Structure 1
Amino acid sequence: MSGTVGAGPRDGAGGDGEVEALLRARLRAADEEIDTPPGLWERVKGPAPDGRSAAAAGAAGRRGAARLPRRHPYAVVVAVAAAVAAVVLGVWWAFLRPAAVEVRPAGPPRTVPLTVYNGEAACRPRHTLECALRLAVDPHRAYAARDNTAGRVWHGEVLAARCVVPDGQLVRDEQGVTSTRWYRVRTGQGVEGWLPGVRTRNTREVPECPAAGR
C-alpha cells in the first residue's frame, strides 16, 4: 500500500508539466503568426500629406496657434462700457423713468344742485305762466326788462348751479328779502340763465364765477 500512495504525487507533477509545456508551445505559435501590415513603418516615418514630416507638422501647428491675434484692450473696454450702459438704461427704465402724464379731456364743470323758491305761497303748487319765475340773460341788467329773459322756472324745481356773481342787480322778493347774488344755472331741459338769489334758499357753497365767464 505504501508504494501505491507514493506513486500518486509523481504522476500529478508530471501531468502539470505537460500542460505547461503545451501552453508555451501554443503561445509561441500564435506569436509567430502575428505579421506587421505592409508599409506600416514607412507611413509612420514618412512625410505628412503636404510633404512635411509628422514632427514638422506638429511644430507648425503650435506656431500657428501662437500667432493667433489677441484682442485689443481698447475693444475690451468698449464692450464692457456698452454692457454697463445697457444695464444702467434698463434700471432707469424699470424704476427711475418719469411716470407718464395722463391727459384727460376736460369734462363739464362741477355743479351744485339748487332748488327754486317762490315767495308767494299760493303759487308754490302751481305750474302756470302766472306763477313762473324768470331766468335772466344778464345779472347786471334790470331783472324786469323784457329783453332780459332766458327762460322760466317754477317753485321746487332743481337746477344745476355752476357759479355765482355777488354784485348783480339788487332784487327784492314778495316777502321783502333782497340780494345782489345771482346764480348761473341750467335747467333739466338744457336752458341756461341767471337766477336771482332771492329765488332760492340755497345752503350750499357755490364757487364764484370768473370774470371772463360772467
Structure 2
Amino acid sequence: MSGTVDAGRRHDGEVGGGGTGGAGGGRPFGGGGRGDASGDDVEALLRARLRLADERIETPPGLWDRIRPAGNEQGPEARSPRRWPSAAVLPRRRPYAIACAMAAAVAAVALGVWWLVRPGDVTPQPAGPPATVKITVYNSERACRTGRSLECALRLAKDPYAAYAARDNSAGRVWHGDGLAARCVVTDGQMVRDEAGITSTRWYLVTTGQGARGWLPGVRTRNTHEVPVCPEGVK
C-alpha cells in the first residue's frame, strides 16, 4: 500500500523543548532536561505516534476492485462470517425440506393403512380331486341283485366309444348296489341295451371304493343326480 506516515521528528535529547542530556551527548526520547525519562512516558508517546500514523493511512484508489473476486458485488465490509448459512440461502432449501416431510407423512399413512388391511397368512391349498357325484350300480336281473358271483358281475369299460363286450375293453368289475364316485358323463358313447331292453348312450367315468377307474354304461345305474359333462379328451 502507498501512504504517508508521519512518525515525527527524531529526538536527540529534545522532546518538545530544549534540554541537555548526560555525558552521552543526549538520550533518545529524553525530555524536560531529564536524562532518565520513565518507561511509561516513552510507551505513551509511542502509542500516540502509532495511532496518529494509523489514522493518516489512506486506501489507494481502486484497491478493492483489484482484489475483489469476479462476480462478487459486495465489498469486504459487506461480508459476513461464513459460520452459518446466510438467510438468503434458507428460503431456497425450505421447499425441498417441506416436500421431503410430506413424502414421509404419505409413506407413514400408507404403511398404516396396509398394516390395518393386510391379508392374513395365506397357505396355498393343494389342488384336490375334482368334485364327484355318488351313483349306485343297478342290475336289471333280479337274480343278480344279491351275492357277488362272477356271473352277476358288471363290467367297467376302458373306452366308452369302443365295443362294450370287447375282450380288451375291461377296466374292472362292479355289482348291484355298489356305490361309485362319478366324475363326469359323456352322452354320445356306444349304445348299450340291458336285459330289460333299456338302451342308453350315456357313460359315466367312475371310481370304485377299491380305486378301480373306468366307464359305467348308463343302463347300469338309475342315477337321479346331475353329473357334469366330461371335457373333451378326458379318458
Instruction: Provide the residue aligned with 2:90 in structure 1.
Output: 72
Q: Residue 211 of structure 1 aligns to a residue in which SS? A: coil
Separation in structure 2 between the aligned mates of residue 66 and residue 137 of structure 1, nearest angstrom: 95
SS of residue in 2 equivalent to 1:193: strand
Separation in 1, partners of 2:92, 2:155: 87
**Over aligned residue pairs, what C-alpha RMSD do you find?**
2.8
Find 1:158's aligned residue among 162, 179, 196: 179
1:68 Cα deviation from its structure 2 partner: 3.5
- Name the CA distance, whole Å, in 2 between partners of 1:120 and 1:179: 17
Letter of the structure 2 residue corresponding to residue 75 of structure 1: R
Query: Measured at CA, do residues 101 and 167 of structure 1 come closer, stay the same or move farther in structure 2, by a change above 3 Å?
Result: farther
Q: How does 1:100-139 map to 2 (within 5 A)?
A: 103-139=124-160
1:94 Cα deviation (Å)?
4.4
**Which one of 80, 104, 110 corresponds to residue 86 of structure 1?**
104
Matched residues in 1 for 2:125 and 2:81: separation?
A: 67
Q: 1:157 to 1:94 in 2, by over 3 A?
A: farther
- Unmatched runs of 5 consecutive residues or more in structure 1: 1-63
Name the one with the larger helix percent: 1
Which residue of structure 1 aligns with residue 215 of structure 2? Answer: 194
Compare relative contact order (CA 8 Å, sep 6+) and give the higher one, 1 or 2: 1
- By how many angstroms is 1:107 displaced? 1.5
> Among the aligned pairs, what percent are the same residue?
60
Opposite residue 82 of structure 1, the aligned amino acid is: C
Question: Normalized against structure 1, the TM-score is what?
Answer: 0.63
Provide Cα deviations, 1:168-189, integer angstroms capped at 9, x if missing partner. 0000111111100000000111
Alpha-carbon separation, structure 1, partners of 2:143 and 2:112: 70
Aligned length, in residue pairs: 151
CA distance in 2 between partners of 1:94 and 1:206 (Å):
49
Q: After alignment, is 79-88 or 149-158 more displaced?
A: 79-88
Distance in 2, matches of 1:121 and 1:157, equals: 15
Aligned residue in 1 for 2:234? 213
Alpha-carbon shift at residue 85 of structure 1 (Å)? 2.0
Q: Would the alpha carbon gap of residues 171 and 84 (structure 1) be closer, same or farther in structure 2, given more than 3 Å must change?
A: same
For residue 65 of structure 1, report the CA deviation from its aligned partner. Answer: 10
The alpha carbon displacement at 1:126 in A equals: 1.2
Q: 1:68 to 1:164 in 2, by over 3 A?
A: same
> 2:149 is matched by which residue type in structure 1?
T
Secondary structure in 1 matching 2:177: coil
1:72-114 residue CA offsets vs partner (Å, 9 max, x unmatched): 3343322322232233234344447896996543221010001
In structure 2, the partner of 1:173 is 194
Query: Gaps (5+ residues) in structure 2?
Result: 1-79
CA distances 1:112-157 after superposition (whole Å, capped 9, x unpaired)? 0011111111101111111110000000000000100000011111
